[in-house]
Amino acid sequence: MKITVINGTEKHGVTYRMKEIFLEAFRDDAEITEYYLPGDGPGFCTGCTTCFRGNQNLCKDAEKVQKIEKSLLEADLLVFTSPAYVFHTTGAMKAMLDHFGYRWMPHRPAKEMFGKRAVIITQCLGAGGKSAAKDIKDSLSW
Ligand X SMILES: Cc1cc2nc3c(=O)[nH]c(=O)nc-3n(C[C@H](O)[C@H](O)[C@H](O)COP(=O)(O)O)c2cc1C
21 sits near ligand X (criterion: CB under 6 A) = no
Contacting ligand X within 22-81 (CB under 6 A): none
8 sits near ligand X (criterion: CB under 6 A) = no
**SS3 track for the chain:** CEEEEEECCCCCCHHHHHHHHHHHCCCCCCEEEEEECCCCCCCCCCCCCCCCCCCHHHCCCHHHHHHHHHHHHHCCEEEEEEECECCECCHHHHHHHHCCHHHCCCCCCCHHHCCCEEEEEEECCCCCHHHHHHHHHHHHHC
- Among all residues, whose Cβ is closest to ligand X? 13
The correct pick among 25, 28, 29, 86 for binding ligand X (CB under 6 A) is 86
Contacting ligand X within 91-130 (CB under 6 A): 123-128
Q: Could you list the residues that contact ligand X (CB under 6 A)? A: 9, 11, 13-16, 83-87, 123-128
